[in-house]
Chain A
C-alpha cells in the first residue's frame, strides 16, 4: 500500500492521524481514497472544479509531482507520498 503523510493542519480532518495508507496505482487514486474516507479534507485539497489547489504541493518520495506526471504519477506499492502546504503571505 502507498502511504500518504498528512500535514499537521489537515489532521483535524483525519481524526488526528498523520498517515493514511491505501492501495492506489497513482496519486489521483491515493488522494481520492483519502477524500472518500475523510471527506472533510476535500475542500482543503481541491477547488470546486476538482483541481488540486495551487498552494498544495504533492511529493512522491523527494520529487514534486509537477516534475513527474502530475496527479497521474504512478505509485509503487510501498511509495511514500507527502502533502505539503505552501506557506506564504505578507503585507502586500
Chain B
C-alpha cells in the first residue's frame, strides 16, 4: 500500500466537513495523483450524506454524486483516488458495512471526530484477500484540529 499525502487545504477541508457534520457522518471523494512512491490528495469533493435514517452511524452517496466525482476527475485531469467519511465518536477503523461494499484500488479515509475535535485520520485499502489494510498517511493532523 502506498502512503497518502494530502495537500494542506485538502486535509483542512475534509476535517472541517467532518467537524461541521458532527454528530452525523460526512462523506466525499478524494482526487489527486498517484506516483510510484505515494498517492497525493490534491482536493476533496464534499457530497451530501444521502442515507435515509441513522446518519449518525451510516452514510450513502448517490449515483448522481458518484458520476459528479468521475466528471470532476476528467475535467481536472486528476484521478479519483477514493472516498472519505467520518466516524462520529468512533475510532477511524472500517466497519463491516464499510467492508461490504468496498472497491479495489480505492483509498478509504476515515476521520474519527468528537464534539470537541478530531481524534484521528486513517486510510484503508482492500488487499488481495479482500480485507482492509491500512495505508500510512504522511501528514500530521493539524494541531488546531486535535482534541485538547
Asked if A90 and B106 make an inter-chain contact with CB atoms under 8 angstroms apart, the answer reads: no
Give B122 Cβ to nearest chain A Cβ, in Å.
Answer: 14
Given contacts A88-B58, A88-B60, A90-B25, contact A10 B95 (CB under 8 A): no
Asked if B104 and A91 make an inter-chain contact with CB atoms under 8 angstroms apart, the answer reads: no
Q: Which of B52-69 contact A (CB under 8 A)?
A: 54, 57-61, 63, 66-67
Q: Which of A5, A59, A89, A91 contacts B63 (CB under 8 A)?
A: A59
Question: Digit string of A55-67 for contact with B (CB within 8 Å is 1, else 0)?
Answer: 1010100001000
Q: Which of B66, B73, B90, B104 contacts A87 (CB under 8 A)?
A: B66
> Which segment, of A27-35, A69-77, A78-86, faces chain B?
A78-86
Q: Which of A29-51 contact B (CB under 8 A)?
A: 44
The total number of A-B Cβ pairs within 8 Å is: 85
Contact of B116 with A by CB under 8 A: no
Alpha-carbon distance A92/B25, docked complex (angstroms): 11
Residues in B with CB closer than 8 Å to A44 are 103-104
Interface residues on B, range: 20 to 34
Q: Which of A7, A8, A10, A86 contacts B101 (CB under 8 A)?
A: A86
Contact of B70 with A by CB under 8 A: yes
Interface residues on A, range: 20 to 34
Q: Which of A57, A86, A87, A91 contacts B95 (CB under 8 A)?
A: A91
Contact of B118 with A by CB under 8 A: no
Instruction: Tell me the A residues contacting B by CB distance below 8 Å.
Output: 5, 7-10, 12, 44, 55, 57, 59, 64, 82, 84-92
Instruction: Tell me the B residues contacting A by CB distance below 8 Å.
Output: 25, 27, 51, 54, 57-61, 63, 66-67, 70, 73, 79-80, 83, 85, 87-88, 90, 94-95, 97-98, 100-106, 108
Q: A44-B103, A88-B59 are in contact. List 12 more A-B contacts (CB 8 A).
A: A7-B66, A7-B70, A8-B70, A9-B105, A57-B63, A89-B102, A89-B108, A90-B25, A90-B85, A91-B58, A92-B57, A92-B95
